[in-house]
Structure 1
Amino acid sequence: MTTAASRQPAAGPAEPVVRTAAGAVRGRREDGLAVFRGVPFAEPPVGEARFAAPRPARAWDGTREAYSFGPPPPQEAGIQGRTGVLNAPTGDDWLTVNVWTPDPDPAARRPVMVWIYGGAYKLGHSGSPGYDARLIAREGDLVVVTFNYRVGIEGFARIEGAPANRGLLDQVAALEWVRENIAAFGGDPDQVTVFGESAGAGSIASLLAMPRAAGLFRRAIAQSVPGTFFSDELARDIAAAIAAEAGLRPTVADLTTVDPRQLTEAGAALGAKMRTHEERWGPVVHTLTPFSPVVDGDVLPTTPWRALASGTARDVELIAGHNREEYRLFVGLGGQLGKITEEAAAAALRRFGPGPDGERAYRAAFPEASPGEWYERVQTDWLFSMPSLHLAEAQVAGGGRVYVYELTWPAPGNGGVLGACHGLDIPLLFGTFGADLGMLLFDGAGPSPEAEALSSRFRTSWTAFAATGDPGWPAFDGERRLTQVLDTDPLVTGYPEETSRRLWEGHEFPALPLIR
């Protein structure tokens, strides 16, 4: 079969050369793998291309060195331990991919896993040390791709004269690059699995609902799906407020007058005072970000839950899951562990609980909880665990196949006080205990034998799913709700958070509205 890309003979055992549709790239041999970094999948989105949909990368002559990660997209300062973008390269060539492959042989046709990073839709860089994919590629004997996409104002602000969800369109373009080129790196374009965490999982949920992404991947793994999706009206109002911070209108004409790296300051300025807009924007002002995918009716026609329930993604095999104490990370980073008052807990229960009686329902369901436990539980449920569960339930309702997990093993760092918090699955999956978030959650120390064992189990399950569609535990259904609990002694049981599931039963996660 003829493909859009074919491999050139390698320059030598240490420097493999692959020909992509745009030109040849030279990588390096590392730990038994061929690794290619910083390969453009689209033109730099600057100048006339600023705020536009991604455009295919221009062809180049000769052989391009693919030794270094491309520069991260413009973004504000990150949460400690989340991005690892300090000392990253600079430049405008943000839209690049990286490939780890056991052997760039077109005849190999190995399964392909494509990682989509998180970061509240405003942070992230595929070159972060925590996303080093060598263990996944080597142990799973498959090809792993990571890539950059636009975040923050460049990627998600709802700007007049620009398409919505440009960050998601970048992701589609990267997946199109994979379809056209991955065979040359030894991958099978018909066996692509997307996987991602937090905003990366929200992006995957969006891709499952997007007509433009149909057919670009066969399987998906969504780790801790955020429930925040914006209505078009809300997104436009937030964009107007961001632009006003820079003294501008939310238009392409105005915003292109400001350097992309300086424009991030406007988003950061608004983020610092979002709560003053609660009467118009509602609970989103209590999150970490003024950005989310926008249900604009075009790029993203509807919410992922509605799309999956209607059968849109029934042909895509799915893993969806979450961590037990998701929100504790943010309480810890804010220095609030052990300091949540009854007043703060009551406000959170009223604000985030399902329906008009959310506070009463949570107090009745968890009568022995402390204010801190109520505060964390309702925000864990609203922001991550129930959106993830409901995505699985929607996939079942739409006739698809889905596997559900919950991570309950506590992070050992900081005396174990963070529990199975948000983001713990990243160092466990990648085995990057001493990088980025792993530094915080593991105190920068080497992993214990039980951490190593759980890390290996993550990779074994994820790569088996990418290769076969079976992660090693039973599929989820609406009756038994079998769930893989990931802990020191993993087990399969009914969905562990049954109390919360019942509280949220029948709740729809709609696009968040503008409150007029």
Structure 2
Amino acid sequence: MREAREFGAWVPQQAIPSAVSGATTGELADLRGASGAECLTLNVWTPRARDGAGGDGLPVLVWVHGGGFVGGSANSPGFDGTQLARDGVVLVSVNYRVGYEGFGWVRDAPWNRGVLDQLAALQWVQDNIVAFGGDPGRVTVFGQSAGATSIAAVLAGGRADGVFHRGIVQSPGHVFVPPEEARAVSTMITEELGVASTAEALAAVPAEAIHDVQWNPVALMSADPDAWSHPNSPYGVVLDGELLSELPWAAMRRGVGRCIDLICGCTAAEARMFTANLDPAAADPAGVARGVGLDPAAVDAYRHARPGIGDSDLSTLVLSDAFFRLTAHQVARAHAEAGGRTFFYEFGWVGDPVLGAYHGLDQSFVFGLPTGPLGWDLGARPGEFVTLSTAMRSAWTKFAASGDPGWPRYRPDEWLTRIWDLPPTVGADPTAVSAEIWQRHHRTTTSQ
């Protein structure tokens, strides 16, 4: 047993590359605790602690952070669980291995080690959360971006049973990596390091040396994009045949995970953080559409669906759909069509008119912390922030307690969607039109 009155170590890493975050994060200095080898830690916030067992514990929310599978930390001040604990839940946040250490192929080590870390943390919650006042029978895991993608993989892989009962998937990403591509990326890295792809050989390499080269394969991958399923993303959940054998929505359509209640959603302008500073030539909608595998007619279809949309907003929408929105759509549709209790949302509140409702903005409202995921202050309109944050926290904690967030289910007879804006409304699924366009105009629809 150890005293645990301070934040533990966070996972060693570099600042997230701009290709992932839209900006060099520079946030590592802000993380609480220190970087260290004993980094598979978690943090607990609770309004009360008690001894003994029983069924009267509080609902538990377990947070899995994002970071493009190469960075991020539960120790970030932006994920402080104080406000959610005050709202009546036990909040747990999880650190897991990222980058090559968490998701790279190692010949004699398990695949998807970062996700296995998350599963180990969820088992810890089952075994220990009673002592913190939590109910192990009401555990909801929630995550954003890479964290959401991991949750979708666990759900679709049939690994949720016994470790969580509900899931909240915020802006899940599209990166699910074929094993042969993961091996190829690993080979590039180990050849550059001059070591074998074995656990023993890699253990002798300083973590900093691995971090220095783990992003280098992107240059070769992006130079030959047709040879890779995700040429700008060397790391993601690997379709390893153990954790996950197929794309999550394919498994969900067969009913895998339908007993787990699910909230799934996205933001309205996910990719704005990537496109805000692009010059007009780089933001040309035809080129952007071509780059994500859409045929030329797709741009006209988007313009028909969104009359008056400008080039910059159209390019942002196409990339938002490609990276996050259509994954959220597919996961929610598959879960609902298989008979699961599903709730869908789009976060549409706009603080900064340039950035719009960008990737990750919703998590600031869920945690009740008026600092955006890139460090920007959201307090210019404090009344709006407090009102919307209170409503979202109420929905998330109600869902954790009862499985009902307070808006209608997303179901085949009526695809109703919560629109998080002021005031919050319920309407038709705003991702449905994009999904139809991609079905007609994408060169292969199997990955979307």
Q: Same fold (TM over 0.5)?
A: yes
Instruction: Letter of the 1:111 partner, please give it.
Output: P
Superposed, 1:385-400 pairs within 5 Å as 385-400=325-340
Pick closer, same or farther for the CA change 1:68–1:510 going to 2, 3 Å: farther
Assess if the C-alpha contact under 8 Å between 2:286 and 2:299 holds in 1.
yes
How far apart are 1:250 and its partner, in Å?
3.3
Pick closer, same or farther for the CA change 1:371–1:248 going to 2, 3 Å: farther
What is the distance in 2 between the residues matched to 1:354 and 1:346?
9
- 1:285 aligns with 231
How far apart are 1:256 and its partner, in Å?
2.3
1:178 pairs, out of 111, 116, 125, with 125
How far apart are 1:270 and its partner, in Å?
3.2
Tell whether 2:14 aligns with 1:84.
no
CA deviations 1:55-108 (Å, max 9, x no partner) are xxxxxxxxx221222222122212458583325413211101111111111454
What is the distance in 1 between the residues matched to 2:173 and 2:162?
24
Tell whether 2:71 aligns with 1:123.
yes
Superposed, 1:283-322 pairs within 5 Å as 284-286=230-232, 289-322=233-266
Assess if the C-alpha contact under 8 Å between 2:30 and 2:76 holds in 1.
no
What is the distance in 2 between the residues matched to 1:355 and 1:215?
44
How far apart are 1:441 and its partner, in Å?
5.4
How far apart are 1:290 and its partner, in Å?
1.4
Superposed, 1:474-485 pairs within 5 Å as 474-485=408-419
**Range with bigger deviation, 303-312 or 86-95:** 86-95
Secondary structure in 2 matching 1:383: helix
What is the distance in 1 between the residues matched to 2:292 and 2:433?
16
Instruction: Letter of the 1:95 partner, please give it.
Output: L
- 1:496 aligns with 430
Instruction: Letter of the 1:233 partner, please give it.
Output: E
Tell whether 2:363 aligns with 1:426.
yes
Secondary structure in 2 matching 1:183: helix
Secondary structure in 2 matching 1:320: strand
What is the distance in 1 between the residues matched to 2:195 and 2:264?
40
Assess if the C-alpha contact under 8 Å between 1:354 and 1:503 holds in 2.
no
What is the distance in 2 between the residues matched to 1:315 and 1:200?
20
Assess if the C-alpha contact under 8 Å between 1:231 and 1:511 holds in 2.
no
1:100 pairs, out of 23, 36, 45, with 45
Assess if the C-alpha contact under 8 Å between 1:314 and 1:401 holds in 2.
yes
- 1:199 aligns with 146
What is the distance in 2 between the residues matched to 1:365 and 1:493?
17
Taking every aligned residue pair, what percent have the same amino acid on both sides? 38
**Range with bigger deviation, 343-352 or 224-233:** 343-352
2:137 pairs, out of 190, 193, 204, with 190
Tell whether 2:68 aligns with 1:68.
no
- 2:316 aligns with 376
What is the distance in 2 between the residues matched to 1:433 and 1:441?
6
What is the distance in 2 between the residues matched to 1:466 and 1:94?
27
Assess if the C-alpha contact under 8 Å between 1:353 and 1:382 holds in 2.
no
Secondary structure in 1 matching 2:364: helix
How far apart are 1:114 and its partner, in Å?
0.2
1:452 pairs, out of 374, 378, 386, with 386
Instruction: Letter of the 2:247 partner, please give it.
Output: T
Tell whether 2:54 aligns with 1:112.
no
- 2:199 aligns with 252
CA deviations 1:243-262 (Å, max 9, x no partner) are 23323443334322211232
How far apart are 1:369 and its partner, in Å?
3.4
Tell whether 2:440 aligns with 1:440.
no
- 2:406 aligns with 472
What is the distance in 2 between the residues matched to 1:343 and 1:378?
11
Assess if the C-alpha contact under 8 Å between 2:160 and 2:257 holds in 1.
no
How far apart are 1:215 and its partner, in Å?
2.3
Computed over aligned residues only, the root mean square deviation of the Cα atoms, in angstroms, reads 2.4
Pick closer, same or farther for the CA change 1:347–1:253 going to 2, 3 Å: farther
Secondary structure in 2 matching 1:66: coil
How far apart are 1:503 and its partner, in Å?
1.5
Number of residue pairs aligned between Structure 1 and Structure 2: 436
Assess if the C-alpha contact under 8 Å between 1:105 and 1:185 holds in 2.
yes
- 1:30 aligns with none
Pick closer, same or farther for the CA change 1:354–1:194 going to 2, 3 Å: farther
How far apart are 1:355 and its partner, in Å?
6.8
Secondary structure in 1 matching 2:190: helix
1:134 pairs, out of 52, 74, 82, with 82
Secondary structure in 1 matching 2:107: coil
Instruction: Letter of the 2:318 partner, please give it.
Output: V
Pick closer, same or farther for the CA change 1:438–1:489 going to 2, 3 Å: farther
CA deviations 1:387-425 (Å, max 9, x no partner) are 10110100012221100011110123xxx2100110101
Assess if the C-alpha contact under 8 Å between 1:429 and 1:455 holds in 2.
yes
